[in-house]
Amino acid sequence: MKFCTHCGNSVVLRIPAGDDRERFVCSSCELIHYTNPRVIVGCVPVYEGKVLLCKRAIEPRKNYWTLPAGFMENGETSVQGAARETWEEARARVSNIDLYRVFDVPYISQIYMFYRCDLDHGEHAAGPESLETGLYDESTVPWDDIAFPVITQTLKEYFADAAAGHYPVRVSAIEYRPRR
């Protein structure tokens, strides 16, 4: 960040009075500009025991499969965002939306929230960010072509939970692991 969104003057990176970490602070009006984590919201839409997946039409991980998800927008709840992303990516309406999985990813300042839900009428189609969509049971999921590790983990947990008939909400952190 180089300029204040309030007055247009330059900002500096410093620790404001009463704070404990560096922030962007306007050199003129002293407005503190906070940089907070991005929240990614999505759904695990289920119809007749199968999960709806989308083949990505955009980078990162174009041509790989994922759950419908994306960045939460200002002015919406996480549930609204998850349902909106499911519509945008899979042209699917969902109901009975329950929090299912949360991943904290502090090294990239992101939080992922997935909601387990019903896929209304089993209807879906590719949206503008998807090449195709499909319903998969555990044996037909394209496991080698899943876009992101959090999606693989969420799907494996979902199928295990479905077999057990119990869907606990799980929260975990993904810590940075440097490549060797």
Question: What is the residue extent of each domain of the chain?
Answer: 1-35, 38-173
Long-range contacts (CB closer than 8 Å, 24 or more residues apart) made by 76-83? 78/39, 78/41, 78/113, 78/115, 79/115, 81/39, 81/41, 82/41, 82/42, 82/43, 82/113, 82/114, 82/115, 82/117, 83/43, 83/117
Q: What is the pLDDT of residue 36?
A: 86
What's the chain's average pLDDT? 95
Question: Which CATH fold topology does 38-173 show?
Answer: Nucleoside Triphosphate Pyrophosphohydrolase (3.90.79)
Contact 115, 81 (CB under 8 A): no
C-alpha span between 98 and 101 (Å, rounded)? 10
Q: Is the pLDDT of residue 179 over 80?
A: no
Local structure of 55: helix, strand or coil? strand
pLDDT attached to residue 78: 98
1-35 matches 38-173 in fold: no
pLDDT in tens, 51-76: 999 999 999 999 999 999 999 999 99
**What is the structure's pLDDT at 176?**
77
Tell whether the model's pLDDT for residue 131 goes beyond 70.
yes
The CATH label, of 3.40.220.10, 2.20.70.10, 3.40.50.720, 1.10.260.40, for the domain at 1-35 is 2.20.70.10
